[in-house]
């Protein structure tokens, strides 16, 4: 066994946690039973110690393919060989009441030929740090019992006999064409079901899960171009949403490197106010008001729990806890020996002023397009905006969470303007009393951006005052309606971003050698500094800026090129490497919501009659 490329995985989930399923039929990552619970399978981060759950045909030579059942998160992995064809259906049961969880179902079918298969179920509890014992309850049922306090017990049931092999479970069996075998891995605390008719029980679970996802997708109001791609991104965002709490995580994985062999290996299994607020925007655009409302309820509780003079945190656990102390897993070597593998995230203690803008923009849209917010929620938000109005002009750690020192970042200043602007608009729409000082401070920020961040010589808004480079987060300036997308100063800034940060339509977030230091320098064993990949969400921001500025041919071409960098299932990680390989945690919410926003706006611009005049001399590329 060796490490597969990150893009070789598909994702399944039950709105409580997810599993990553490789093209080789192996589940190599799964935290259980919640997103931020310790892992039970994590060979993605240590091929020897992490644990996995594999099903493989014993073909001498084969090809593999994956696809989702249309409009669902039910994954098919196919093994294609001249000796036969096999197919695994992987899913985690989910139902409208979200109570059908804590189960993993794997249904294996031989499509053609007589095929011999081998199953290996090798969990490694608590990030591979806790041992376990096995108990065989019957020929087709085995318990995995974690050792230690708060121990987890897993039950593996099968329609073929199972054998214990040291700490693991194995099965070897042969299926003829048309024959099926089922496997169920679940929390042993679940009520025992399917004792009399196990195949029928699994069949019911499959039908309920497929119908749940098809019904969910059918509620989308998006009917434009790239509809299947947009809906796949929406399905990813839904998988990253907690049914229990309403919170939305940034990504379901931890420790996947931003550069192979580097140190930027973060834990993204938490709710960033920034990422989740942008996700709410996407849900509202697509008509998923229930999900938007659930997150608003979560935010309202988070604001209500703030005591005294505390400010809003930048990130929380899925249940709203703020302390996310970071530590490293020294027992894991990391993906392709990229260490350290981090759990928790010390960025929770950073000051990132931009979160106020993203939150207030999402509240503004929710209040406008979904339902009016409550008076008590407004009063909680008012306290935060009041704090911001007195503190917006201090340096912070910025959107990229640099660990090399605080700066007066452009994007943080921009977002402070958004926060005060949207708060004023909500107060005006709802006739809420507000502090008259907000307008004064908002206008000060506006003037500050044009005077302190504009570099006349470079003709661009810079990353921070005195900086010699631009930052891709500036692409949000026209998207949040701070500046016209056709304003000469903006068009000049966009040109500078293209010159410094864009390579073949892909966008770097900044130039590390010129930007504010991030506190980490990734080097290979030969001492050569490794450059991080392009940021996929920044590329989608760039596409949207092009479409808003009227460069529709260029925007559409670059959008289509970016779609070509998705994996075989339409999924994206955080970054793309030099060779187009996926880097960073996977799949990432920010990238998929950026895709939705770019597709929504580009489709709207293409449908606008003012943009339908084509030169008579033929096709224009850009």
**Number of folded domains that form the chain:** 2
Q: Which CATH number fits the domain that encloses residue 120?
A: 2.70.98.50
Within-domain flag for 390: yes
pLDDT level of residue 603 (50, 70, 90 thresholds): very high
The verdict on 168 and 282 lying in the same domain is: no
Q: Which of 168-177, 299-308, 578-587 has the lowest mean pLDDT?
A: 299-308
Q: What is the pLDDT of residue 488?
A: 98
Residue 1 has pLDDT above 60, yes or no: no
> Where residue 401 sits, what CATH number does that domain have?
1.50.10.10
Q: Quick one: pLDDT at residue 548?
A: 96
Residue at 563 is within a domain: yes
- Gap between the Cα atoms of 520 and 618, Å rounded: 50
Claim to verify: residue 351 and residue 487 sit in the same structural domain? yes
Is it the case that residue 97 has pLDDT exceeding 80? Answer: no
Cα torsion 567, 571, 576, 578 to 10°: value is 0
Quote the tokens at residue 118.
């081998």
Higher pLDDT pick, 606 / 435? 606
Say whether both 141 and 65 belong to one domain: yes
List pLDDT tens digits, range 331-387. 999 999 999 999 999 888 899 999 999 999 999 999 999 999 999 999 999 999 999
Average confidence (pLDDT) over 395-416: 91
pLDDT mean over 158-187: 97
- Residue 223 and residue 188 share a domain: no
Please name the residues in contact with 520: beta carbons below 8 A apart, sequence gap of 6 or more.
Answer: 262, 263, 264, 403, 404
pLDDT band at 611 (very low <50, low <70, confident <90, very high): confident
Domain co-membership, 316 together with 184: no
b/e 112-132 (16+ beta carbons within 10 angstroms → b): bbebbbebbbbbbbbbbebeb
Domain annotation covers residue 182: yes
Say whether both 574 and 522 belong to one domain. Answer: yes
Residue 619 within a domain: no
Average pLDDT score over residue span 581-609 = 95
Q: Is the domain of 270 the same as that of 171?
A: no
Residue 405's pLDDT is what? 84
Same domain, residue pair 242 and 174: no
Burial letters 17-30, b for 16+ CB under 10 A, else e: bbbbbbbbbbbbbb
pLDDT at 182 over 90: yes
pLDDT at 619: 42
Q: Are 593 and 281 in contact (CB under 8 A)?
A: yes
Please give the backbone phi and psi of residue 152, each rounded to the nearest 5 degrees, phi first. -95, 140
State whether 570 and 516 are in the same domain.
Answer: yes
Q: Which two tokens stand for residue 503?
A: 């390579």
Question: Considering the domain boundaries, does residue 13 fall inside one?
Answer: yes
Structural domain of 241 = 219-608
Q: Quick check: is 341 in a domain?
A: yes
Mean pLDDT of the residues in the chain: 92
Same domain, yes or no, for 177 and 326? Answer: no
Do 397 and 544 have their domain in common?
Answer: yes
pLDDT digits (tens, 9 = 90+) for 228-255: 999 999 999 999 999 999 999 999 999 9
Kindly state whether residue 524 falls inside one of the protein's structural domains.
yes
Position 518 scores a pLDDT of 64
Question: 0.75 exceeded by the pTM?
Answer: yes
Q: What does the pLDDT read at residue 2?
A: 86
Q: Considering the domain boundaries, does residue 200 fall inside one?
A: no
- DSSP SS3 for 117: strand
Structure tokens at 587: 């799949």
Confidence band, pLDDT 50/70/90 cuts, at residue 528: very low
- Classified as helix, coil or strand, 83 is coil
Mark whether 185 and 40 lie in a shared domain. yes
pLDDT in tens, 444-486: 999 999 999 999 999 999 999 999 999 999 999 999 999 999 9
Calculate mean pLDDT across residues 114-134. 97
């Amino acid at each position: 066994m060796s490490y597969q490329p990150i893009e070789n995985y598909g994702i399944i989930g039950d709105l409580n946690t997810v599993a990553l399923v490789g093209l080789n039929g192996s589940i190599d990552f799964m935290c259980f039973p919640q997103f931020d619970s310790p892992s039970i399978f994590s060979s993605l981060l240590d091929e020897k110690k992490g644990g996995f759950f594999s099903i493989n045909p014993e073909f001498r030579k084969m090809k593999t393919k994956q696809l989702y059942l249309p409009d669902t998160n039910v994954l098919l992995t196919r093994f294609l060989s001249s000796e036969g064809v096999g197919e695994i259906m992987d899913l985690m049961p989910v139902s409208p009441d979200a109570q059908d969880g804590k189960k993993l179902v794997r249904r294996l079918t031989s499509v053609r030929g007589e095929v011999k298969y081998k199953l290996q179920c090798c969990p490694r509890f608590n990030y591979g740090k806790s041992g376990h014992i096995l108990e065989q309850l019957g020929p087709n049922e085995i318990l995995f019992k974690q050792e230690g306090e708060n121990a987890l017990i897993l039950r593996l049931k099968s329609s073929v006999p199972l054998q214990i092999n040291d700490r693991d479970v194995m099965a070897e069996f042969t299926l003829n064409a048309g024959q099926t075998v089922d496997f169920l891995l679940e929390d042993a605390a679940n009520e025992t079901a399917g004792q009399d008719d196990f195949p029928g029980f699994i069949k019911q679970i499959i039908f309920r899960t497929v119908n749940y996802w098809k019904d969910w997708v059918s509620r989308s109001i998006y009917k434009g171009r790239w509809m299947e791609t947009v809906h796949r991104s929406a399905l990813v965002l839904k998988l990253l949403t907690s049914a229990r709490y309403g919170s939305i995580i940034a990504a379901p994985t931890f420790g996947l490197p931003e550069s192979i062999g580097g140190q930027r290996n973060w834990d993204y299994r938490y709710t960033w106010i920034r990422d989740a607020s942008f996700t709410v925007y996407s849900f509202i655009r697509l008509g998923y008001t229930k999900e938007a409302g659930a997150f608003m309820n979560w935010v309202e509780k988070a604001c209500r729990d703030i005591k005294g003079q505390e400010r809003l945190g930048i990130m929380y656990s899925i249940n709203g806890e703020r302390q996310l102390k970071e530590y490293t897993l020294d027992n894991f070597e990391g993906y392709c020996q990229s260490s350290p593998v981090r759990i928790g995230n010390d960025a929770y203690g950073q000051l990132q002023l931009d979160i106020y803008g993203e939150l207030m923009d999402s509240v503004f849209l929710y209040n406008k397009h979904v339902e009016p917010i409550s008076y008590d929620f407004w009063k909680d938000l008012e306290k935060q905006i009041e704090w911001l109005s007195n503190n917006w002009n201090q340096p912070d750690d910025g959107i990229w969470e640099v660990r090399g020192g605080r700066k007066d970042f452009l994007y943080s200043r921009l977002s402070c303007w958004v926060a005060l602007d949207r708060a004023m608009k909500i107060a005006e729409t709802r006739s809420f009393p507000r502090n008259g000082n907000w307008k004064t401070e908002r206008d000060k920020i506006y003037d500050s951006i044009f005077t302190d961040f504009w570099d006349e010589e470079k003709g661009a808004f810079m990353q921070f005052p005195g900086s010699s480079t631009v930052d891709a987060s500036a692409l949000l300036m026209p998207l949040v309606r701070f500046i016209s997308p056709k304003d000469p100063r903006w068009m000049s800034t966009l040109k500078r971003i293209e010159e410094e940060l864009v390579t073949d339509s892909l966008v770097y977030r900044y130039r590390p050698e010129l930007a504010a230091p991030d506190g980490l320098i990734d080097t290979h064993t030969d001492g050569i500094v490794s450059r991080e990949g392009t940021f996929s969400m920044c590329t989608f921001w760039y596409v949207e800026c092009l479409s808003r500025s009227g460069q529709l041919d260029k925007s559409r071409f670059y959008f289509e090129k970016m779609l070509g960098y998705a994996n075989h299932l339409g999924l994206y990680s955080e970054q793309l490497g030099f060779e187009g390989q996926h880097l960073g945690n996977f799949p990432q919410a920010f990238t998929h919501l950026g895709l939705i926003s770019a597709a929504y706006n580009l489709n709207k611009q293409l449908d606008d009659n003012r943009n339908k005049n084509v030169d008579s001399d033929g096709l224009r590329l850009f």
